[in-house]
Structure 1
Amino acid sequence: MKDIPDDILRQLNNGELESANAVEWFAIDRRKLLETVLSDNNRIEYFKPILKCVNSLEKQTANTLNETIGEGLLHQSKIYNDNNLISIIANHDSDVVRSWGAFMIGKADDLSLNKKFQEIQLFAGDKHFNVREEAWVALRMSVIENLEESLEILSTWVKNEDENIRRFASELTRPRGVWCKHIEVLKDKPELALCILESLKTDESTYVRNSVGNWLNDASKTRPDFVIELCTRWKSESNQTAIGYIIKKAMRTLNKVEK
């Protein structure tokens, strides 16, 4: 982080630049960025209540700060009946700021599940990787609490022309995922998500296939029988390179165990 030029760091903290890599993403002073964004948009009165919540966090990481700020922005928008705030956040130049918008949607308990999915799609298809990652994290608990309905909705997302949206359907439902709460039902019954996996098994996008392979690798740790049977069937049905790529990633943990 110390190697980031002062001018670049200043622009990142002022919301004038997107982060170019993980180092910049973690280096951003989210308190300063929040204060700048609110001040620039004549909403500085929102700052202190949100800052209080941020400072009270027992575990302060980039992810917990983003989630708390997003939830705080949602709360302030309701207090002030501010229907324009989500648009300001969602269209901001900073990827960190846009990621707050994803949590504003994920934390909106007054939205139906279907409406949450509609609103999160903007962030799921964002041009920046970090925003897309925060988008699925923001919706994760809603999916866990409403798994059957979520899978039904996502079964249509896998047909979207945008690879980011298709990948989102897979990444959001990974049984284990990364730095997130596990979906216990899918760890035990991964076959429930076949509506997603089957549709993406020959996806032309490496970005999507990586996610599907990781999904199955997750599942292999609790249901190796399911993953072995599925990969065997897929291989017998087609010798396409796309399927072979997924199978290799899906079986990597099981293959290590065998060795």
Structure 2
Amino acid sequence: MTQPTTRKGASRAADIPPDILAALERGELQSATLAECLALNQATLLRAVLPDLAPPAVRQAEAACQLGILKRMAGIGAVLFEELGPAGIARCQAHPSDTVRGWACFMAGMQPGPDLSQRLAAIRPLADDPHFGVREWAWMAVRPHLAADLDGSIALLAAWTAAPSERLRRFASEALRPRGVWCAHIAALKKNPARALPLLEPLKADTSAYVQDSVANWLNDAAKDSPDWVRALCLHWQQGEPAAATRRICSRAMRNL
């Protein structure tokens, strides 16, 4: 797996050097910022990295490129899964381009048939990808399936909270945020956030700031609908001599209260 780029990258699309954008669209370079990820022409990238794709599939993918970024990724993933099947997942997952690996996330997410445990097993290596963008696409790709079986998902993801990788521990929290970014809200967790305590409790003193921020954002989401619950939980967590990580999580969780 290609390691994440160490380029500083551009913070605005207008500032991306033409040679960098061209390399991104040839699949030779990973995006270093969200701006680069959003700016590249995915239709151009698709033709470069999958030149053997059938013309009708290319046209369908080009049509998906007219959509917003999440629907664009999902649409291209659907086209590729239809055209390449499960073997296409491994092909895209091994590619140096983070966007191509992002397509693999959605291909893995839309496989018909597998139960939740199999779906999570398929997405796990992508959830642990070195690139920040791929990790985001990973949870977005499976979130609809997780939300459809909330209790089953929470039970399975609870085991991820003990994973050695901070990326996987973060996935356990981030995938089921009540008001996740760029995705549909989960009404059941907005109404009753306590259902997710099997995920939040094990992470309340996580040593990774990457995980801490996710837990804090989870609670900040919940505070918009259940502020008293969030206050009570943070008060409970901070009794006695809480870890510095717990204090940081609670402070950030209640930043808008």
Please indicate, yes or no, whether the TM-score normalized by the shorter chain is above 0.5: yes
Asked if 1:2 is matched to 2:14, the reply is yes
Q: Which one of the candidate residues 83, 87, 90 is aligned to 1:76? A: 83
SS in 2 for 1:44: coil
1:103-129 CA deviation, whole Å, 9 max, x = no partner? 001111222211110000011000000
Asked if the contact 1:54–1:65 (Cα under 8 Å) also holds between the matched residues in 2, the reply is no
Q: Name the CA distance, whole Å, in 1 between partners of 2:64 and 2:200.
A: 41
Residue 224 of structure 1 and its aligned partner are, at CA, apart by 1.2
Unmatched tracts of structure 2, length 5 or more: 1-12
Q: Give the TM-score of the pair, scaled to structure 1.
A: 0.91
- Cα deviation per residue 1:72-126 (whole Å; 9 max; x = unaligned)? 1111124xxxx43211100100000000000001111222211110000011000
Structure 1 pair 202–154 and aligned structure 2 pair: CA distance change class (3 A): same
In 2: Cα distance, 1:165 partner to 1:238 partner: 27
**Structure 1 residue corresponding to 2:74, chosen from 67, 72, 86:** 67
Is residue 250 from structure 1 mapped to residue 253 from structure 2 by the alignment?
Answer: yes
Query: For residues 145 and 44 of structure 1, what CA distance do their matches in structure 2 show?
Result: 33
Match of 2:57 in 1: 49
For the aligned residues, what is the CA RMSD?
1.4
Q: Which deviates more from structure 2 when the two are superposed, residues 16-25 or residues 83-92?
A: 83-92
**Structure 1 unaligned regions, length at least 5:** 255-259
CA shift digits 1:118-167 (9 cap, x unpaired): 00001100000000001111011001111111000000000000000000
Q: Could you say which residue in structure 2 is the equivalent of 1:257?
A: none
Choose from 229, 233, 243 the match for 2:232: 229
Give the partner amino acid of 1:164.
R
Aligned residues: 245
Partner SS, residue 252 of structure 1: coil
> Aligned ranges for residues 184-223 of structure 1 at < 5 Å?
184-223=187-226
Structure 2 residue aligned with 1:240? 243
Q: What CA distance in whole angstroms lies between the structure 1 residues aligned with 2:15 and 2:154?
A: 44
Task: Specify which of 117, 142, 158 is matched with residue 139 of structure 1.
Answer: 142
Contact preservation (8 Å) 1:50, 1:69:
no
- After TM superposition, the structure 1 stretch with the greater mean CA deviation from structure 2, 3-12 or 149-158, is 3-12
User: How big is the shift at 1:206?
Assistant: 0.2
**C-alpha spacing 1:56/1:138, structure 2 compared with 1 (3 Å):** closer
Map Cα deviations across residues 203-226 of structure 1 (whole Å, 9 max, x no partner): 000000000000001101111121
**Are the counterparts in 2 of residues 91 and 98 from structure 1 also a CA contact under 8 Å?**
yes
For the residues of structure 2 that align with 1:148 and 1:68, how far apart are their CA atoms?
28
Contact 2:99 2:134 in 1 (8 A): yes
Q: Equivalent pairs: percent with the same residue?
A: 40
d(CA) in 2 for partners of 1:102 and 1:225?
36
Q: Runs of 4 or more off by more than 6 Å in structure 1?
A: none
* Aligned mates of 1:250, 1:103 — CA distance in 2: 30
Check the 8 A contact 2:238/2:247 in 1, yes or no.
Answer: yes
Post-superposition offset of 1:241: 0.8
Aligned partners of 2:89 and 2:107 also within 8 Å:
yes
The answer to whether the Cα contact below 8 Å between 2:64 and 2:71 also exists between their aligned partners in 1 is no
The answer to whether the 8 A contact 1:170-1:215 is kept is: yes
C-alpha distance in structure 1 between counterparts of 2:151 and 2:49, whole Å:
38
